[in-house]
Structure 1
Amino acid sequence: MIELLQNTFYSDIPITRAMNLQVLKYDGMSLTLRSPLVPNRNDKGTAFGGSLYSTAVLAGWGLLFLMTKERHIQADIMIHESHTRFMRPVNGDIEATCVFNSEEQIDRALRLFSRKGLARFHLNTTVTADDNQAMLFEGSYAIAR
């Protein structure tokens, strides 16, 4: 599944190739992505805020992509709303981890999706730097037929 997501990023979302975005791990409930610092740095030599944001958005999008593929669900995935808090500079590679809140969150949303063809997922993505939280991204995503 990781390879499918990596290929989808590079073929369908071209900026991911320029960012050199890499899918690191997926366990069914969480997804971790990495964007290396060098192609994502700013004028201060730290990670560019736009790259941090993009990596976080893509972590949520990717988590939903894999969840729908595993369940053989055809759906469009889109970001609906978000809030981002930057807490400290990222001096190395960007690592973003997005996590489902619970299996119940997934089941509840998919029941709604099967009835109405639309469901929302509220997901949190954390970016860490030196084992400290550097950015928190709260995103509301929609899946739709």
Structure 2
Amino acid sequence: MFRIVKPKTEEDFDRYFSFRWQYLRQPWNFPPGSEKDEYEQVAEHRMIVNGAGEIVATGRVHLNTAEEAQIRHIAVHADFQRRGLGQMILGALEGVARDMGATRAVTNSREISIEFFSACGFSIEREAPNELGMLKRQQMVKKLTDLSTLVLHPKWCKELQDTWTDTIPITEHMGIKLYQYTGRTLETRASLNKNINIHGTMFAGSIFSLATLTGWGMIYLLLKEKQLMGNIVLGDGDIHYHKPITMKPRAICNIETVNGKFTLLEKRKKCKIVLQVDILDDENAVAEFRGEFWVLPQTPKEEK
């Protein structure tokens, strides 16, 4: 399980900056401290931690102008690369930039990172100043107003959102929206105002519905990825609530929590998929949902 968190304590920041130095400065023999600059106090910092609380990725964003946000210092632990964590931390930073009102994101990319940022919707604008006087970089830009840049396979994601709207109309009334899909992580969000109780917090039933739909949606998109078809039903769901939601309801499902044999569908057999959905209030973890879903093979009539 991976979670995006915001460093808050002095110990958090010590670990955060140590990680940045280890992956972004030490390989070029720069001393500790070189990983920091004059924007640290005005920037928003994010890191991804695993189930043991260990940092596996970091990133930072700050505003250059009211419309432009600069993304810097994205790093992923060597043991966790090529698992979608780069896209996950970048997506979180873009979300922060949007919340701050930015409509454009820029990043100064080294040559080895250009392919990554290009795949995430950035394009080269011009050559940027060398980093620390020696590392060549290109300035890359991305508009933050186009929803299709938020998600991998935007057509599938639109189909999923339309399916929810058409077959489960209450999702529209609850304000449940697909926020981001990277191929390994699905994030959905809901409107607090549309699900608020007399205590000013989100209804427990609404939280359960958000978690269930997120797990259902993850399976829907994974079936698309695997070029399989089936009818998804919830067999059992268990949720543990720790804190109320008072700000921004979010639900995140990571592919690492998904367990099941999708290949059974190729033999026209039903398959059980077990997964976990983490519920957050903005950046704070508030609940965990464990769902057991069944994917039933479609009948010949349904496949036509």
- TM, length-normalised to structure 2: 0.45
1:11 corresponds, among 166, 170, 183, to 166
Partner of 2:266: 114
Q: Which has the higher contact order (CA 8 A, sep 6+)?
A: 1
One-letter code of the match for 1:140? E
Deviation at 1:141, TM superposition (A): 0.7
Give the superposition deviation at 1:71: 2.8
- Aligned sequence identity (%): 27
SS of the residue aligned with 1:138? strand
Q: CA deviation at 1:22?
A: 0.7
> Which residue does 2:283 correspond to in 1?
131
Q: Distance in 2 between matches of 1:111 and 1:58?
A: 23
How far does the alpha carbon of each residue in 1:91-110 deviate from its partner, in whole angstroms, 9 at most, with x for none? 0121001122268x4xx612
Report the CA distance shift for 1:35/1:66 in structure 2 as closer, same or farther (over 3 A).
same
Q: State whether structure 2 residue 182 is matched by structure 1 residue 30.
A: no
Contact 2:257 2:276 in 1 (8 A): no
Note the C-alpha offset of 1:10. Answer: 0.6
How large is the RMSD of aligned CA atoms in angstroms?
A: 1.6
For structure 1, which runs of at least 5 residues remain unmatched after alignment? none
- Secondary structure, aligned partner of 1:101: helix
Q: Number of matched residues?
A: 142
Distance 1:7 1:130 in 2: 25
Deviation, structure 1 residue 77: 0.2
- Report the Cα distance in structure 1 between the residues aligned to 2:194 and 2:238, rounded to whole angstroms: 24
Partners of 2:192 and 2:163 lie apart in 1 by 22
Is the Cα contact below 8 Å between 2:250 and 2:282 reproduced in 1?
Answer: no
When Rg is computed on C-alpha atoms for both structures, the one with the higher figure is 2
Shift, 1:124, TM fit: 0.3
Secondary structure of the equivalent of 2:246?
coil
* TM-score, structure 1 normalization: 0.90
Q: Deviations over 1:52-76 (max 9, x none)?
A: 0000000000011111123332200
Q: How does 1:55-74 map to 2 (within 5 A)?
A: 55-74=210-229
In the other structure, the counterpart of 2:128 is none
d(CA) in 2 for partners of 1:36, 1:122: 27
* Structure 2, unpaired ranges of 5+: 1-155, 298-304
Give the aligned residue type for 2:160: L
| Cα deviation code 1:6-64 (max 9, x no counterpart) | 11111111111111111000112221110010001111111110110000000000011
Q: Look up the equivalent residue of 2:285 and give its one-letter code.
A: Q
SS in 1 for 2:275: strand
Contact 1:36 1:92 in 2 (8 A): no
Q: Residue 33 of structure 1 aligns to which amino acid in structure 2? A: T
* One-letter amino acid of the structure 1 residue matched with residue 187 of structure 2: T
Q: Distance in 2 between matches of 1:118 and 1:68?
A: 13
- In the alignment, does 2:244 pair up with 1:89? yes
* 1:143 maps onto 2:295 in alignment: yes
